[in-house]
Structures are given as C-alpha cells and as structure tokens.
Amino acid sequence: MNLIHGKRMNAEQSKRELAQIGESVLRSLAAGRLARKDVIAACDKLSRKLSEQEHLALLVSSGMRPELAKTELAAFKSMLSRGYLERRVEREFGDWTERTFQPLDMDRSVRQKWAPLGVLLHISAGNADALPAYSVIEGLLTENVNILKLPGDGDELSLRILEELIGIEPRIAEKVFVFDTPSDDIAAMERLADAADAIVVWGGDAAVSAVRSMAKPDTRIVEWGHKISFAYVSGDEVSDGELTELARHICETNQLLCNSCQGIYVDTDSFEQVTAFAERFYPILERAAEEDPLPDNPFRAAQATLALYTEELEAVHMKKRVFRGKRCGVVAYGDSALTPSCAARCVWVRALPGECILQTLKPYKNHLQTAALVCGKGEIRKFEEALVAAGAVRIVSVGGISAHYCGMPHDGEFALRRYMRIVSCEYEGADGTGDRSNETK
Amino acid sequence: MKDAEKLFLGKNPYRTKDDGAFLRAVRENVRFHAENNPKYAQILDRFGFCADDIMNEADLYKIPVLPTLYLKRNELFTVPKEKLVLKAASSGTSGRASVVGFDRKSMLYGFGMTARFFAFYHMISIFPANYIVLGFEPDGQTGLGAAKTAYGVTKFAPAVHRTYALVKTGHGYVENKEGVLNALLRHEKQGFPVRLVGFPAYLYFLLRELKQRGISLRLHKRSMIILGGGWKRFAGEKIDSDALFGLAHETLGIARENCLEFFSAVEHPLPYCKCKNGHFHVPVYSRVIVRDVETLLPVPNGTPGILSFVSPLVTSMPLVSVMTDDIAVLRDAKYCGCGIQTPYFDVLGRANARGIRTCAATAEELAGGGKT
C-alpha cells in the first residue's frame, strides 16, 4: 500500500505520484521545514495514545508473541516520548545546533548550524516490525523530507503509525511519501533515488550493493547493514549465573537480531577446553529453552534438525562435537571462524586465545557489532581494547547484551547526525549581531 | 548389475512388482560405496550400519541419510574425478549450491530411465518441435543443473529452434521477453508443435504478459508445457497449477493434458511427474521416506515430515539415501485415484524458519568480506 499526501493509494494512483515525485519533494522543500519541536510534540502525543488495550492486538497480529509485544510496545512508547527524544537529540548533537564564534585564523565571526540533508529515501528491510516507520521518524526529527520504500511484503504496522502521526500533525503528510514499489522495478527505484539527497538503506550486503550500484555519485548512502554479535569467555571463574543470562538472551532473541549472540569464543587454544565448555553450556541452554518454549513449527524444527544433523555427519571426519536435543544445540568447532548460528537456539563454541583476537576478527571488520565479555574484572579493559581494535562497536557484560538506552549509538554511529550536514555561514554579519565575541558554544 | 538394469530400464515406471530387484540393487549400491569411498565408510561405521542390515523395505530408513546441506559443504565422490562425465550444480536458492558428478554407468542408467519415463508421458517424439526454454541458456562454465535438464528435455523431440527466456550476456543473464514473444508469434504459423520447458514462474510471467497484451495464440495441438523446479524467489507470486494451466489454454491454446509438472533435485536426479490429480507418485526406481522433523525416524503416511529418498541409481557418489530441505506428506495410492498404484507425495514447503526475518549477518556476508 502507498501513503502519499496523507492518503492511502492503490498501485495505479501511486504510479502517477511516482512520475512526479521530483516536483512533489521540491514543493515540500519550498514550503519550509517542519520544526523538530513540532515533530517531537506529535511523537509525544502518539506515545501517550499508545495503549495495551488498543495496540497490543495489532502487534500480536503481526506475528509477535504476546509477552514480547508488551515489552516492544512499552519500549516504543518510551522512545517516542518527549523526554526521550529531547534527551536523545541532546546526546547526539551535544549542546548546540547553531553556534557563532570567531575562528582562530579569521578576523570576523562565523556561524555554523546543523541543517537537514534535504530529502531522504529510506529503503527498509522487513526484519523488525515498525522499523520503516522508525526510520522515517528519525528523518522527520532531522527535519528532512522522507520517501519510504516499504519492504516487499509491505508493512501495515508502519503505515498505521505514520497515519496516526499525520492525524496528530497534518503537516507531516507533505513530509512523508510512502511507496511499495518492488526493488526490482529498477526504473521506479532510480526515479525515487534521483529525488533524494541521501539513501538510507537497511538490509544485508545484497541490498547495500544494489543501492550502491543504483545511486549516482552525487547521492549520499547511509548504510544500516547486517551485523554479528558474540560472547567472549575468559578465565576459570565463569559462573553458571552468567551463562544462564547468556542462554536466556539467546532464547529470547532466537539469535535473529544484530545484537544477538551467535556463538561463544573461549580464551584458549585447546579443542578439549572448547568441548568441555560446550558440554557445560548445553544443559544451561536447554533449561533456558525449556523455560521459554517456541511455538510448534515443523518448518523451523526441520531446519534446526537438518543443520545439527549435518554437523554430526561432518563431525565424523572433522574436528567438531555436537550436543543437541529437541529444543537447542551447542556445537564445538576446531576453528576460530566467526559465523552466524546454524539455526535458532543453536550456539557455536570456538577457541580464540586473547592474543589472537585482533588478527582473527579483523577480516570481519564492518560486520562486527556487540561483544559480550565474561571475564575477570582485571582483564576487561585488555579485551575491550582488542575487540574494539578488531572492529566491534559495543562491549557489554552478558546481562546487558539485549539492553538499549537513550542516546545509544547505532552500529557505531549517531543516526541523527548522519541525516544532517553542518552549514558554515561566513558573510559579514553572519553571526546576526556583528558582534566579534570570542568563541562561544 | 542385472538388478539395476531390470529396475531402471523396465517399461512401466509405476509397476508395483520388482521381484526384490530394488532391495538387491540398493544393497549392492551401498556395498559398492562402502568399499570404494573411505569417507562414506566412516559415516556408515559411525551409525554402525552395513549393507547386509537391509533385510526388507522397512529397513531402508536405516541407511545413513545424507542431507542436501551436507552435500553442499562436502565433496563425496566414490569414483576418481576423471571418470565423471557430467557435472551439475543446484541453483543454490538460499546460498550454496551442491555440485554432483555422474560417471558413465550412472549416466547410462539415468538416460535409460529418463527415456522410459518420458516415453510413458508421450514426450519422446520423432516429430520436430520448436522450443521455448523458460530458464537459462546453457553455459559451458556454470554447469547449472536446471540449465542442463532443460536443455536435455529439448532433445526429446528434434529441435527446429530453441529460444531462451534468460540469455547469457558474457557476465550474467538477462531477460529475453521480446525474443520469446516474437518466437511464439512465428511458431504459431510454422506448423510444428511448440514445447515450453522450464520454471513455472517464468511461464506465469510469459502468460501474464500475453494476456495483458491481448494476445491469444492457437499453437499446434501437440504442443506441450513441461515444467520443473520451484517458484524460488518468486514464491510471493505463486499461483496454483489449475489457474496456471487455465491461463496457458487461454493464451496459447495448449490443452490441460499436455501440461506436465516434474520434480527432481541435483542430489536426487530422478524424475517425478504430477498425475492428473496433481500428485507426485513414486516410480519403481526409488522409495520415499518422510521423516520426523526432530528424530528423523519415518513417520506414518499422512503425517508431514522431511522428504527423503532411497535409490540405487548413482554409482559416482553415495546418493543412495538423501534428504531434501522439503517438508512433504506421503500418502497411499488409494487416496489419489488417478489409476497409478504407487504411493505419492505432496510437497508442503521448504524447511526454514518461515516468516522470520533477521538483521544478523549471514554466513555468505561474513565469508564474502562484504562482497556480494
């Protein structure tokens, strides 16, 4: 479904809109920016409107488990509230959005200000519910005009959220253009890209490559690609409590998110120790899986069985050990490769001596996200440095692996900053007063 | 190998009596691989299995079953590679492709079996035909199994001309929509039957295009549609066979009984054809075992599970007991009623975490260092 000028449109109507998208965004830009404070006010109103009675069912109908839907709804409510958004903007931009100062090597004052890039084309993957709407809200918070290309299977939830926002603040209708054009309609995609100053792409390497080949050199690309996360365990004093927390996180996320732990590196070079750790972790994971059972799904069960059974067959002639049950599996490997888990609730365990962290993980540079550390307090800094040097962007204790906080960078970046540019005004009187004050913040 | 000969070269692919030839051929095939393929022998040892453990049909599930995923990640040739006369790769819909190879003996039985099988469906003809291949133009290098199969099918009746829906450019394939449409318009006047061979999704796109342009052809009455393979990345547009073949009748004038749908796999290169009631019956060359999604033990007929096959066709690789990624149901012949007396299976879908989407990096992304 398409959402243009605040109205839902069918394929035919949207084709006409697509043909004139360049003119439409120019009109929108000429009409002036929609101030951030007004966007925040609209989001805050939406946040207050969201209620379990009314909106929980919508999330559940989109395929979410009821308990998870409750948590997600609460998180979404909080992330749209005025307090949260104002604090977030402050964290990302520091304490100025416009400043005047006299540079060291100039005899008059200049003015610098953050300005929107102009028009953002959001190409969203369908991996997380309401992500497309969230991406557009970030575009609105930075006072951009937004074109959203929905994922192939549409996204009713995102459409509903954007409609609600337009209902609260009708001026948003001319700042958001939603199309459900399929990605393989190259001509349409190029038309959308031509109208944009930057393309915000969510998705895997294939999606990112497709955008890179489609975008002209004058169009900025903001990539939110696929990432991988893992745990790193060192020392003998690892408690069952910490491992239980890790196991719960694995079951809660089913290893589907970029911050989900896919596997566990053990600080050793011995396969025997890796196997021993896998054997110890297996019953802990099984207990967590039992406490948080997945709904019956023969397609998913078959995929996990086929994956783990294949590992067992390979273990006949390779350095591998498989511990598997009905609900989960742990595989000890003889190498140190970084891989996704072979199925939901299946974890790999591999050796990675501390001194090899950098050289082993460096090849995965821009795919690394979270490393959860389980080690003695005295060693945390040492491992943090090695993991950061290898490319990890988030270092956490196991308990906090799923956590999120206000002002948290996204994959090593502040998202809002990426949607803006810094304009420098250097004419006589640019500082507004003609006052030659000293550098001010 | 008299048993294999009897099995693969017999006339009726759906005969129900084989005088024990199937079991003997399977035992012989397992024994041959165990003796000539040390890696496979290790696997049999790990499961404590040997060829003589197969006493009757109910024992077939015990032959250690190799999943597609294993064949994608491991090379497992029983004969030296220089003896392989044909290599083929699966299309690798979800990443990696299996590479399999066939020696002269496997090829011989394979060709014989295929000829018998297709003759049963009146597909072998000395009368020339024009071909529209709804798939890839063959390419000496890539060795895509689908391209080879489609090309092979264009040998069943002498080809006057072949037109491909996906033509090679030197660094990939491009769609050849106009070429196919023009060929069809020409072929209508030429007086030869036309055979459309390939993927169902491409047939659907072609028919849809014809309908949109208001084109309605009356092709030669012995024209045929021969489909194989899934809808793959076009799964979202899938329509059922009746609707598809109804559209074919409307736009091409091809009768329903001349529309055939096949199932096969690179790892299990045997033909299965949908009967008039839309079911894949099991031919005499193989047995189908549907396995429990957790224990891999056989489930009773009528219960969904993982589709696996047993067949003694291939000698170059131990493909005697293989398991697909498909979820299927096996049923007794009596529930079909088409007249074929062997059990049949229906494929329900592919084993995966359906509907689940993820932002975690995939194995291909990590292995490719960001390249795609």
Tokens representing A98 are 């416009």
User: How does A421-436 read in b/e, with b if 16+ C-beta sit within 10 Å?
Assistant: eeeeeeeeeebeeeee
More confident residue, B198 or A321: A321
pLDDT band of B370, cuts 50, 70, 90: very low
Q: Return the higher-pLDDT residue of B364 and A297.
A: A297
- Report strand pairing: B173-175 vs B159-168: antiparallel
B357 touches chain A (CB under 8 A): yes
CB contact under 8 A, B356 and A152: no
Distance (Å, whole) CA B319 – CA B288: 14
Query: B359: which chain A residues are within 8 Å (Cβ-Cβ)?
Result: 125, 127-128, 202, 226-227, 256-258
Q: Which of A61, A202, A257, A310 to mutate to test the interface with B (most CBs of B within 10 A)?
A: A310
Residue-level pLDDT at A315: 96
Exposure string for B149-182, b = 16+ CB within 10 A, e = fewer: bbbebbebbeeebbbbbbebeeeebeebeeebbe
pLDDT tops 90 at residue A164: yes
ipTM rounded to 2 decimals = 0.86
What DSSP element (H or E) covers A203? strand A198-203
Min mean pLDDT across A20-34, A410-424, B48-62, B163-177 is at: B163-177
pLDDT of amino acid A370:
97
Closest CA to A374 of A404, A346, A347, A396: A396
Q: Residue A204 pLDDT more than 50?
A: yes
Q: What is the average per-residue pLDDT within A50-74?
A: 79
pLDDT tier at A437, thresholds 50, 70, 90: very low
User: What span, in angstroms and rounded, lies between the C-alpha atoms of B161 and B183?
Assistant: 9
| B93 in reach of chain A (CB within 8 A) | no
Mean pLDDT of B34-63: 96
Q: What pLDDT digit, counting tens, does each position of B79-118 carry?
A: 888 888 777 666 555 556 667 778 888 888 888 888 888 8
- Domains, chain B: 3-80+282-367 (3.40.50.12780), 113-263 (3.40.50)
Q: What is the predicted pLDDT for the residue at A227?
A: 93
Q: What pLDDT shows up at residue A126?
A: 62
Report the relative pairing of strands A320-324 and A329-333 from DSSP bridges.
Answer: antiparallel
Neighbours of B348 (CB within 10 A): 15
The model's pLDDT over A259-291, given as tens digits with 9 standing for 90+, comes to 999 999 999 999 999 999 999 999 999 999 999
Provide, as residue numbers in chain B, all residues whose Cβ is less than 8 Å from the Cβ of A260. 360
Of A331, A315, A271, A335, nearest to B39 (Cα)? A315
pLDDT at A389: 97
Query: Does the structure show a pLDDT above 80 at B72?
Result: yes
Q: Regarding predicted confidence, which is higher, A60 or B16? A: B16
- Residue B231 confidence (pLDDT): 67
Q: In chain B, what percentage of residues exceed pLDDT 70?
A: 89
Give DSSP secondary structure letters for B104-154.
HHHHHHHHHHHHHHHHHTT---SS-EEEEEEEEPP-TTT-BHHHHHHHHHT
Q: Do B296 and A305 touch (CB under 8 A)?
A: yes
Q: Are strands B224-228 and B259-265 parallel, antiparallel or unpaired?
A: parallel
Lowest mean pLDDT of A397-406, A426-435, B355-364, name the range.
B355-364
CA–CA separation, A203 vs A210, rounded Å?
11
Which one is predicted more confidently, A89 or A185? A89
Would you say B118 and B262 are in contact if contact means Cβ atoms under 8 Å apart? no
Q: Is the pLDDT of residue A439 over 70?
A: no
Residue A171's alpha-carbon distances to A36, A387, B64, B173, in angstroms, are 12, 46, 66, 46
Quickly state the pLDDT bin for A436 (edges 50, 70, 90): very low
User: Chains A, B: CB contacts under 8 A, how many?
Assistant: 134
CB–CB of A227 and B70 under 8 A? no
Whether A128 sits inside 8 A of B359 (CB atoms) is yes
Report chain A residues whose CB lies below 8 A from the CB of B49: none
- Rounded distance, CA B43 to CA B46, Å? 5
Residue A270 is predicted with a pLDDT of: 97
Q: Is the pLDDT of residue A110 over 50?
A: yes
Q: What's the mean pLDDT when you consider all of chain A? A: 91
Nearest CA in chain B to A314: B70
**What is the percent of chain A with per-residue pLDDT over 70, rounded to a whole number?**
96
Q: Binning pLDDT at 50, 70 and 90, where does residue B236 land? A: low
Nearest 10 degrees: Cα torsion B253, B256, B259, B265: 150
Contact A63 B352 (CB under 8 A): no
Q: b or e along B204-236 (b: 16 or more beta carbons within 10 Å of the residue's beta carbon)? A: bbbbeebeeeeeebebbebbbbbbbbbeeeeee
**Strand ranges (E), chain B:** 66-67, 84-89, 99-103, 129-136, 159-168, 173-175, 194-198, 224-228, 259-265, 268-273, 280-281, 287-291, 305-310, 321-331, 344-350
Cross-strand bridge partners of residue B86: B102
B362 contacts A310? CB cut-off 8 A: no
Question: What pLDDT does B10 receive?
Answer: 82
Among B17, B5, B15, B9, smallest CA distance to B282 is for B15
Helices (H), A220-322: 240-253, 271-291, 298-315
Q: What pLDDT shows up at residue A11?
A: 85
Query: What is the pLDDT at residue A438?
Result: 47
Question: What average pLDDT does this structure show over A121-127?
Answer: 81
Name the pTM for this structure: 0.86
Name the most confidently modeled range: A202-211, A224-233, B147-156: A224-233
Chain mean pLDDT for chain B: 86
Per-residue burial over A28-55, b = 16 or more CB atoms within 10 Å of its CB, e = otherwise: bbeeebbebeebbebbbbbbeebeeeeb
In this predicted structure, which of A61-65, A108-112, A251-255, B10-14 has the lowest mean pLDDT?
A61-65
Asked whether the beta carbons of residue A339 and residue B356 sit closer than 8 angstroms, the reply is no
Helix, strand, or coil (residue B37):
coil
pLDDT given at position B372: 35
Taking the Cβ of residue B368 and every Cβ of chain A, the question of whether any pair is shorter than 8 Å is answered with yes
- The pLDDT of B240-249, averaged and rounded, is 91
Residue B151 has pLDDT above 70, yes or no: yes
Which of B73, B236, B349 lies nearest to residue A152, judging by beta carbons? B236
Residue numbers in A near B351 (CB within 8 A): 299, 302-303, 306
| Confidence at residue B9, expressed as pLDDT on a 0 to 100 scale | 84
Least confident of A173-177, A377-381, A432-436, B231-235: A432-436
Mean pLDDT over A307-335 rounds to 95
Confidence of residue B232 (pLDDT cuts 50, 70, 90): low
pLDDT of A90: 95
Phi (first) and psi of residue A73, to 5 degrees: -65, -45
Residue type, B18: D
For residue B189, give every residue at least 6 positions away whose Cβ sits within 8 Å of its Cβ, in sequence order, or none.
Answer: none
